[in-house]
Amino acid sequence: MAELTVDVAVVGLGPGGEAVATRLAGAGLAVVGIESRLVGGECPYFACVPTKIMVRAADTLAEARRARELAGSVEVAPDWSKVAARVRDEATADWDDTAAVDRLVASGATFLRGTAKITAPGELTVTGPDGVKTVRATKGIVLNTGTAPAVPPIPGLTDGPVWTNREAVQATELPESLVIIGGGPVGCEFAQVFARFGVRVTLLQSAARLLPRDEPEAGDLLTTLLAAEGVTVRTGVTITKATHAGGSVTLEVEGGEPVTARKVLVAAGRKTDMAALGVGAYGLDESAKGPSVDGRMRAADGLWAIGDITGKGAFTHMSMYQAGIAGDDILGQAGEADYRAVPRVTFTDPEVGAVGLTEAEARDAGLNVRTGITDISASSRGFIHKLGNQGLIKLVEDADRGVLVGATAMGPGGGEVLGALAVAVHGEVPVAALRGMVFAYPTFHRAISSALDDLEN
């Protein structure tokens, strides 16, 4: 068994893991990065980057179809092969991480391909294509192992082929019909993309509404808009059984009509396996969803964790943010994590951007809550009123302090409009100061002014 001794071992080379490994190696530490799958993680190969190519293509189709109403006659013929080719060639290099590995090694880090398990504090066993290697990390270990798609335990579901985001992104042909399990951001984005390419889509959500972690007004409006595009949305459903026959899958729904489609796509959350990682060697609970970390990303003495497994938000920007803090701590620099203004965006059309607390979360936290909300089409005085130009701004104020603690920007460019609101929440800008701003007309962000006015009512 070969051995390797380094200062720091980074297990999992998603965006955050790659960033912290590169930084520490650049600072002169001996670093090994360990990855069992693709260096770069889920984001560049199966999530953020390729799915946004898909979203952009679907948005282009929708915009072309609107030209019939706004500009003239247009013939639209969707062609998924163009999207599949861009995902394969431009986004993922055919799911080849050679460039990412070369980038890591060029930074001075050592790379090991394999599955790592903690066998003692500061010690790992890595099993890979070149055999088994023992890694000793004298300063410590950074975990950035991410999560994997979770397939719900529905009887019969896995008796046939099931798509997760990974298979959906790699699809070269689309089915004529698709049932999606899960109405969170991933499920909603895929539902709209595939519907715009002519797939008959049914979206099944166990919760009472779509986007259950966002404001209810956003989920309700998105349901209406998806339905207008031909997506069948069913919320509050319990799937009891799945059967596969004749190249189709049928899902039995408690108290409702069954759903049959050519493919089923599961977008019902993510999972981790702390036992397989061996965190019990540090005295951590291996049955937990992930390790608990302090403000310095420490899960235990000599063990740091960043990214999805920390439970602070399954976002690339969160992984990168936490990587910076963990790197600071390892290098002896100051800094603490601050999660008051974490932004998130669902890239449907319209986009749903949110930051900070929802109204419900703020009330649960015991705050004296005041809210303001406006329809962006109403606040524009008739400028914005076409399908696709619908949305809302909702503000959540801590009335005792007179500052925003949360906000939602739903509309075209909702994620960009969110930027101003994220600054306001993060910087605790007084609402009175926000009311004194001049908001450009006619823009989508001008609706922030109307929502601020609504706070007074």
* pLDDT, tens only, 140-156: 999 999 999 999 999 99
Instruction: Note whether residue 67 is domain-resident.
Output: no
Asked if residue 166 and residue 204 are part of one domain, the reply reads: yes
Q: How far apart are CA 190 and CA 204, in angstroms?
A: 13
Asked if residue 326 and residue 177 are part of one domain, the reply reads: no
Question: Residue 128: which of 116, 145, 142 has the closest Cα?
Answer: 116
CATH of the domain at 244: 3.50.50.60
Instruction: Note whether residue 432 is domain-resident.
Output: yes
| Secondary element (H or E) of residue 178 | strand 177-181
Q: How far apart are CA 259 and CA 247, in angstroms?
A: 14
Asked if residue 276 and residue 214 are part of one domain, the reply reads: no
pLDDT at 373: 96
| Secondary element (H or E) of residue 227 | helix 216-228
Give the helix ranges, DSSP H, for 11-140: 15-26, 42-46, 48-70, 80-86, 98-106
Asked if residue 310 and residue 205 are part of one domain, the reply reads: no
Q: Which residue has the tokens 């072309």?
A: 64
Phi first, then psi, for residue 248 (nearest 5°) are -125, 165
Asked if residue 118 and residue 7 are part of one domain, the reply reads: yes
Total domains in the fold of the chain? 3
**pLDDT-above-70 percentage for the chain:** 97
Q: How far apart are CA 91 and CA 170, in angstroms?
A: 11
Write out the residue range of the structural domain in which residue 242 sits.
157-268
pLDDT at 68: 86
Instruction: Note whether residue 54 is domain-resident.
Output: no
Question: Residue 404: which of 394, 412, 413, 414 has the closest Cα?
Answer: 394
pLDDT at 442: 84
Q: How far apart are CA 64 and CA 70, in angstroms?
A: 10
Name the domain boundary from 227, 248, 268.
268
What global pTM score does this model have?
0.95
Range of lowest pLDDT (131-145, 328-342, 359-373, 438-452): 438-452
Instruction: Tell me the residue length of the chain.
Output: 457
Q: Which two tokens stand for residue 234?
A: 């069913």
Instruction: Note whether residue 322 is domain-resident.
Output: yes
* C-beta pairs of 127-130 under 8 Å, 24+ apart in sequence: 128/36
Q: What is the pLDDT of residues 271-291, one digit of tens each?
A: 999 999 999 999 999 999 999
Instruction: Note whether residue 435 is domain-resident.
Output: yes
Q: What is the pLDDT of residues 158-183, one digit of tens each?
A: 999 999 999 999 999 999 999 999 99
Asked if residue 142 and residue 7 are part of one domain, the reply reads: yes
CB 415 within 8 A of CB 222: no
**What residues are paired with 125 via a beta bridge?**
117, 134
Asked if residue 356 and residue 409 are part of one domain, the reply reads: yes
Instruction: Note whether residue 75 is domain-resident.
Output: no
Q: Which two tokens stand for residue 402?
A: 């007179």
Instruction: Note whether residue 88 is domain-resident.
Output: no
Asked if residue 299 and residue 448 are part of one domain, the reply reads: no
Name the domain boundary from 330, 363, 379.
330
Q: How far apart are CA 193 and CA 198, in angstroms?
A: 9
Question: Residue 313: which of 333, 299, 331, 293 has the closest Cα?
Answer: 293
Q: Is it the case that residue 266 has pLDDT exceeding 80?
A: yes
Asked if residue 199 and residue 218 are part of one domain, the reply reads: yes
Mean pLDDT computed over every residue of the chain: 95
Asked if residue 403 and residue 313 are part of one domain, the reply reads: no
Name the domain boundary from 243, 268, 293.
268
Asked if residue 127 and residue 11 are part of one domain, the reply reads: yes
Instruction: Note whether residue 335 is domain-resident.
Output: no
Asked if residue 351 and residue 225 are part of one domain, the reply reads: no
SS3 50: helix
